[in-house]
Amino acid sequence: MEPAVWGAPTGPASLVVLDEIDAYTAEIEAMVSSPPARCTAGPIEGPVSEDALRVCGEVLAELAGIGDLRAELTAAVERHELQHRIDGPRLARAIVVERRMALQDPDVLRRANRELSAYLAELTAPGRAPRTTLVRLLRFVAKGRARPEFTVALLAFEALVGRDVGEDPRAVGAAFRELAALDPEALRARAATTWQAQYRSALAQLEPID
């Protein structure tokens, strides 16, 4: 089962839970082992069309067949957790969060705002990692409201495509297909531009330490 949280800040650094990444890597490999791949093996509880799931399966098969999937997933999670530390306690509210969640409980709003920042930043990770994150976002929507990431994923799709998505399966599917058509570099650029527009500041650019 896909974990809700793969990393947690600890001390001066961030801890990435490698056992959970290993489990998710194995789950993806199992899903693509019997074509056609599909982005979720369980029931669809959220507003996701079969067409979007088919395209998502194609992305999964691509990811499983090229390079080191575990390394890509690890890079994505590392970028997510580092963004939480960069944001700190005074992160501004994203425009889409203000628009969609202004009347929500303050704690729910705060969590959604922080997770949206981290997932958008995760989409700027190196290699093919942005495409692994795109798959995760659609899976969160497919699993429905039972998971807190459901709302965050919808907010991310809306921010990334610049139009209302709501909980319309056709709109969610169209947003996913638009983003899945981008190569990793273009997806990174879209995510960075989106973060900067939503939070009205520059996204931190991380450089590897030699």
As a whole number of angstroms, the distance between CA 43 and CA 72 comes to: 27
CA–CA distance, 68 with 83 (Å, rounded to integer): 23
Token pair of 28 as six digits: 């993806």
Phi then psi dihedrals of residue 149, to 5 deg: -75, -10
CB of 48 within 8 A of CB of 173? yes
Give the confidence band of 15 by pLDDT, cuts at 50, 70, 90. Answer: low
Look at the block and give the residue holding tokens 């939070």.
Answer: 199
Q: Is the pTM of this model over 0.95?
A: no
Tens digit of each residue's pLDDT (9 = 90 or more) over 86-109: 999 889 999 999 999 988 899 999
Q: Is residue 4 scored above 70 in pLDDT?
A: no
Count of other CB atoms within 10 angstroms of residue 36: 10
Confidence label for 207 from pLDDT (cuts 50, 70 and 90)? low
